[in-house]
Structure 1
Amino acid sequence: MNHLITSEDLKLQLGKVVIFDCRFHLMNKTVGSEQYRAGHIPGAYYLDLEQDLSGEVSQHGGRHPLPDIETFSKKLRAAGVNQQSTIVVYDDSRMAYAARAWWLLRFCGHQSVFILDGGYTGWVNAGGAIDRREPAVKQGNFKANVQQGWTLDRDAICAQAEQLTLIDSRESKRYRGEEEPIDPVAGHIPGALNFFWQDATDEKGFFKSKSEQQQRWIDLPRDKKIVVYCGSGVTACVNLLSLEASGINAVLYPGSWSDWCSYRPK
């Protein structure tokens, strides 16, 4: 299944699909909402990574634990999401946050979800319309149907270590433990392989071809269950998109390194 939509195709679907703007910046957490207010795709609602696409942070569970499903469902219903709605998500960060929304929506049982290829900049460059108005609250009937077996937590990873192939989606310097700008401990989960999430897209934020995605994973061992993680379970979703586009099944470790290292001495 194709999980992407082009700007040209989206232009034809305005008013027929539910659109979510997922722009965010980890180091300046108000930037995304400010960008949204300054201009967004007409009809788009805003989903904040930390307020909408993540849950409450605690000692363990990572920096961006999965949100409470009913709270998330209410947010979707307020944007008019129904069981049959087609949803389009976008960001301006090489799909980092849009992929989180894409994965989360599908985790909740909603399969008709597409990521805007090229993101907001691609939309603007394609002559797409821009609006500053926030759309009205609606009353959708969306009801989550959480997909079982789509995630694995730390305890399960420890218990099943010999049966798993772990993929660390962070850049190589963080994977190797040479630097760690966010989490209190550097390094990676023992045995994990490193596949940087940004390698799934080009510098303009367009998803690479199916053959290029498949080439990324050509040497990936297939004899074990594949578990993908990153710093906090966000950018790992770009690798999950790449794997799915390549016909490879994988699951998410939502807590990722930020959860894993919370059990280690600083």
Structure 2
Amino acid sequence: MGTLMDVSALNARMASGQRTVLLDVRWALGDPDGRAHYLREHIPGAVYVDLPTELAEPAEPARGRHPLPPAEKLQGAARRWGVCEGDTVVAYDDAGSTSAARLWWMLRNAGFGTAYLLDGGLPAWRRAGFPLRGGLEQAAPGDVTLTGGGMPVIDAAEAAGWAARGVLLDARAGERYRGEIEPVDPRAGHIPGAVSAPTTGNLDDVGRFLPTEELRVRFARLGVDAATPTAVYCGSGVTAAHEIAALEIAGFSAALFPGSFSEWSNDASRPVATGPEPG
């Protein structure tokens, strides 16, 4: 299994006619116009994936802002995107893979091993001078069969005690971890015992993942090693998938808390810590 594909490798695949399913997952908190961005320009052949409706169920306090959909819903969506058994899927966005990683993680969790993130995403494709196209593209229906349980997950009860036995990483921006701001969730702060590890620290200054050794050093400084159980959360389980991808590049495995802080903070019985320390 791989994690990343660079733009030169993708362009070479496309030029040689190797079957590749390209999925455009442009979405960001505060920017609901991913589809409009896609229609304006995208990598030729890419099919648009709507994260809020295709990669999540409707928000509910007990499950967070972006609950994971059941396997059968993801399978139906993947077939609409044209995914067939044996395909190579490459997902991208224009925000350092922070939304595309949600799709990557979900496909891997569903038992689909040949899913990759386009390293650097659309900006890297543009910088390389490769072609772009506008308008809507639709794929012939696929036949992929998806299951579930391919990636480790934890629930809120496990997250509550995780720091006592391992490392719990908070992938949100530092100011949200510290409780200085909270733009969307009911309470500000972090899960007690969690360590601040913003996803921005996984990327270089042009939005590509850091080299393997640099990521290993980063996570080692945060307490991660091969013998220590690691889990990750964010606001709603989206950017936490990006952290899991970065950990995988560095050679570590980690569990996802799908409901993340949006689920945790909706339960008034669960404590919230503030400040720069785990608490």
* Inter-CA distance 242–45: structure 2 relative to 1 (3 Å threshold): same
Corresponding residue number in structure 1 for 2:79: 77
Q: What is the distance in 1 between the residues matched to 2:31 and 2:44? A: 25
TM-superposed deviation, 1:13: 1.7
Question: What whole-Å deviation, never above 9, does each CA across 1:151-205 have from its counterpart, x for those lacking one?
Answer: 1111233366633321111111111111112212001001111111111111211
* Inter-CA distance 248–33: structure 2 relative to 1 (3 Å threshold): same
SS, match of residue 84 in structure 2: coil
- Counterpart of 1:20 (choices 17, 23, 37) is 23
Corresponding residue number in structure 1 for 2:250: 246
Q: Is the 8 A contact 1:43 1:134 kept in 2?
A: no
Q: What is the distance in 2 between the residues matched to 1:17 and 1:173? A: 39
SS, match of residue 164 in structure 2: helix
* Inter-CA distance 21–149: structure 2 relative to 1 (3 Å threshold): closer
Corresponding residue number in structure 2 for 1:127: 129
Corresponding residue number in structure 2 for 1:8: 8
Q: CA RMSD in A?
A: 1.8
Question: What whole-Å deviation, never above 9, does each CA across 1:24-70 have from its counterpart, x for those lacking one?
Answer: 132131x2100100011111111111011111211211111112321
Q: Is the 8 A contact 1:56 1:67 kept in 2?
A: no
Task: Describe how 1:154-173 pairs up with structure 2 within 5 A.
Answer: 154-158=156-160, 162-173=164-175
Corresponding residue number in structure 2 for 1:229: 233
- Counterpart of 1:45 (choices 47, 51, 55) is 47
SS, match of residue 208 in structure 2: coil
Q: Unaligned regions of 5+ residues in structure 1, if any?
A: none
SS, match of residue 220 in structure 2: coil
- Counterpart of 1:101 (choices 91, 100, 103) is 103
Q: Is the 8 A contact 1:168 1:193 kept in 2?
A: yes
Letter in 2 for 1:163: R
SS, match of residue 144 in structure 1: coil
Stretch of structure 1 that moved more, 132-141 or 66-75: 132-141
Q: What is the distance in 2 between the residues matched to 1:149 and 1:93? A: 24
SS, match of residue 120 in structure 1: helix
* Inter-CA distance 144–12: structure 2 relative to 1 (3 Å threshold): same
* Inter-CA distance 142–36: structure 2 relative to 1 (3 Å threshold): same
Corresponding residue number in structure 2 for 1:257: 261
**Identity of matched residues, %:** 36
Letter in 2 for 1:27: G
SS, match of residue 228 in structure 1: strand
TM-superposed deviation, 1:221: 4.5
SS, match of residue 116 in structure 2: strand
Q: What is the distance in 1 between the residues matched to 2:151 and 2:43? A: 34
* Inter-CA distance 156–237: structure 2 relative to 1 (3 Å threshold): same
Corresponding residue number in structure 1 for 2:93: 91
Q: What is the distance in 2 between the residues matched to 1:241 and 1:78? A: 25
Q: Is the 8 A contact 1:173 1:179 kept in 2?
A: yes
Aligned length: 265
* Inter-CA distance 238–148: structure 2 relative to 1 (3 Å threshold): closer
